[in-house]
Amino acid sequence: MNQPNKQNEWALLGIAAIICTIIFIFMEIVPAIITINKHEYGGKAIPKTVAEERAGAFAAEQTGLTVVKTHVVHQSDKLLTGYLAKEKQTENYENKYDSQFPVDTFQVNVNFAEGKGHGFVYVHMFNERIVGWNLIVNGTAVSEQETRELTNDFLYESGRLQGHAAGNATVGRYGELTQRIAGYEVEEAQLSIVTKATSIDGKLVLSQYKPTFDVPDAYKNYVKDQDKLAGWLTGVGYGFMTFVLGVLAIIYAILYRKHTSFTYGILLTVVFFIAYVIMNLGVADGMIASQGEVLQDDFLSIILTVTTIVLSVVMAASVYFSLVAGDGLWKSQGRSVWPRMKEPGYGDYVWRSMGLSYLFALIMLGLQPVIFFVLGKLIGTWGASDVTMSPYNMKYLWLMPVLAWAAAISEEAVYRFFGIGLFRRWFRNTFAAAIIPTIIWALGHVMYPFYPSTTRLFELIVIGLIFSFIFVRFGFITAMFTHVIFNSVAVGSSMIFAGGTINIVSALFFIILPVIIAFILKVWSNRKRTNPPTRSTIHPLEQQ
């Protein structure tokens, strides 16, 4: 490739990046800003400590018991958020009902002294209001009539709800009263309230108050079926096939050891391991929230920590052998898609790879919302909430961008560096070699709450093929940096909108971190004299 063509390539990528950046801003950033500005509370959630204080004081006052421990997580009604999104009723619901019946809350898990029980108190994330609770305490059951009278006083006599008690209220096996409330609905979703009364030391208290907008059974069944399909696709198409790739990576690392070295990729594997541990321990609250109203104890936390570390070791081993085997496979095919640090021109190569990565990342950030828009028109795509990945469930939100690095290193190592190298050796065709690991990788994302569940499969096949093109055309470092930047911007934007100086600084730092790394490696390479002056824009890999 001659120099003018190289310059034209950079120019074309630059123009595409500018266009796609504009698309990203207008399709993602601007709508988010408008939503925040229209929000009654400016989209700024109360501190978690405030939620804990409010919930602890309420639980103590409601029961007369002493609260000894509280723990707060972000909770969300996945079914309702999805239904509202599908019916395009999210804004309508927020205007009419969110102040009293929010879909997103801070769930505060409380424990009472002397083993007298535990409970769950739900605090409005923006106005501090207690919007629901379920206090499971040692008390005496009361009659159905007493429950009805106390419920009626609480809901209607106090003016909390307009209207009259529904006549079709039913009593559950534990004495809880369930009733649908007329006049409170959005499309076919109708307000249902569960209450329960308990006598604690002779005092009659409302120990449970859980308002929920019940979505239609047809929607529930659809989501259930789609989640089941996603589970099968993830388990078989992603989990099993990734395991197979891991085994093959070990085998091919041994078979092609003369083309590589077992010291290769150790540093990157260590970086991945640290990032993966931080990521998984950081989202522990998301796992707690996903379980709903389940009593948490120290033993469960220990099990979660041990499981995380064991899984991290297994994942790190997969990354390591994928790097070793991938290097051997590509070099056996006469390609060097990830040059050694001591090779001539390494510093310039990394620096240019970084520059290309920002251009490609911007292009992909603009393409992604377009893909979703097209899918929305073709198959009616919509999304629901996911507490496991909520920024509010990150223990240290400012560390959330390590997710970008963990994902980029592992996915580019396993599915691009090793996966494409392996299938290219088998099929002698680059496209066939790219499409197979891309589909496996895409299947690993179908459990995300987008419906139909194949939405992300279609989206990520497109995105994955672009990553594959970048990898084959420009090498592993360019593909990995592109993936890192792409994820960092997505994660970082949510952190910036969440607010807080440390979150904003961290988001910006991780977005520009590839520049810092590339600069350090360029300087190091120059000092080691492994970086002779060159005007080549593209590594020799691309000239083959």
pLDDT tens-digit profile, the chain (544 residues) = 444 566 788 899 999 999 999 999 999 999 988 888 887 777 788 999 999 999 999 999 999 999 999 999 999 999 999 999 999 999 999 999 998 999 999 999 999 998 889 999 999 999 999 999 999 998 888 888 888 888 888 887 667 786 555 557 788 777 888 988 888 999 999 999 999 999 888 889 999 999 999 999 999 999 999 999 999 999 999 999 999 999 999 999 999 999 999 998 999 999 999 999 988 888 888 988 998 898 877 777 788 788 888 999 999 999 999 999 999 999 999 888 998 888 888 889 999 999 999 999 999 999 999 999 999 999 999 999 999 989 899 888 899 999 899 999 999 999 999 999 999 999 999 999 999 999 999 999 999 999 999 999 999 999 999 999 999 999 999 999 999 999 999 999 988 988 889 999 999 999 999 999 999 999 988 876 655 544 333 444 433 3
| Residue 14 placed within a domain | no
Residues 524 and 481: their CA atoms lie apart, in Å, by: 19
Whether 226 and 255 share a structural domain: yes
Residue 295, token pair as written in the block: 């009593």
Whether 288 and 264 share a structural domain: yes
pLDDT of residue 543: 36
What is the torsional sign of CA 409, 412, 413, 414? positive
Q: Where are the alpha helices (DSSP H) in 380-475?
A: 402-411, 419-427, 430-443, 455-474
> Whole domain around residue 282: which residue ranges?
220-527
What is the torsional sign of CA 295, 299, 303, 305? positive
Number of domains in the chain: 2
Whether 406 and 337 share a structural domain: yes
Q: Which among 181, 215, 249 is the end of a domain?
A: 215
Whether 321 and 378 share a structural domain: yes
Whether 188 and 242 share a structural domain: no
Q: Where are the alpha helices (DSSP H) in 333-397?
A: 346-379
Whether 441 and 466 share a structural domain: yes
Residues 264 and 480: their CA atoms lie apart, in Å, by: 16
pLDDT of residue 248: 97
pLDDT of residue 4: 55
Task: Name residue 267's amino acid.
Answer: L
Residue 152, token pair as written in the block: 């009626």
Whether 160 and 249 share a structural domain: no
pLDDT of residue 393: 92
Q: Name the residue among 220, 208, 151 with its Cα closest to residue 181.
A: 151
Task: Name residue 517's amino acid.
Answer: I
Residue 127, token pair as written in the block: 């106005």
Whether 75 and 173 share a structural domain: yes
Q: Which among 190, 215, 240 is the end of a domain?
A: 215
| Residue 36 placed within a domain | no
With H, G, I as helix, E, B as strand and everything else as coil, classify residue 518: helix
For residues 198 and 134, is the Cβ–Cβ distance under 8 A? Answer: no
| Residue 135 placed within a domain | yes
Q: Which among 215, 249, 277 is the end of a domain?
A: 215
pLDDT of residue 538: 40
pLDDT of residue 487: 95
| Residue 24 placed within a domain | no
| Residue 543 placed within a domain | no
Cα 299 to Cα 115, 120, 289, 304, 463, distances in angstroms: 17, 20, 17, 9, 41
What is the torsional sign of CA 227, 231, 232, 237? positive
| Residue 20 placed within a domain | no
| Residue 536 placed within a domain | no
Whether 199 and 247 share a structural domain: no
Residues 37 and 35: their CA atoms lie apart, in Å, by: 5
Whether 195 and 227 share a structural domain: no
Whether 152 and 280 share a structural domain: no
For residues 394 and 285, is the Cβ–Cβ distance under 8 A? Answer: yes
Cβ neighbours for 280, distance < 8 A, ≥ 6 positions apart? 308, 311, 312
Q: Name the residue among 305, 369, 363 with its Cα closest to residue 486.
A: 363
H/E run at residue 227 = helix 217-232
DSSP class of residue 454? T
Whether 344 and 481 share a structural domain: yes
| Residue 19 placed within a domain | no
Go through the chain and tell me how many residues it has: 544
For residues 81 and 102, is the Cβ–Cβ distance under 8 A? Answer: no
DSSP letters, 183-200, are: EEEETTEEEEEEEEEEEE
**Residue 504: how many other CB atoms lie within 10 Å:** 16
Residues 494 and 535: their CA atoms lie apart, in Å, by: 39
For residues 202 and 146, is the Cβ–Cβ distance under 8 A? Answer: no
DSSP class of residue 87? T
- Residue reference for tokens 């006469």: 334
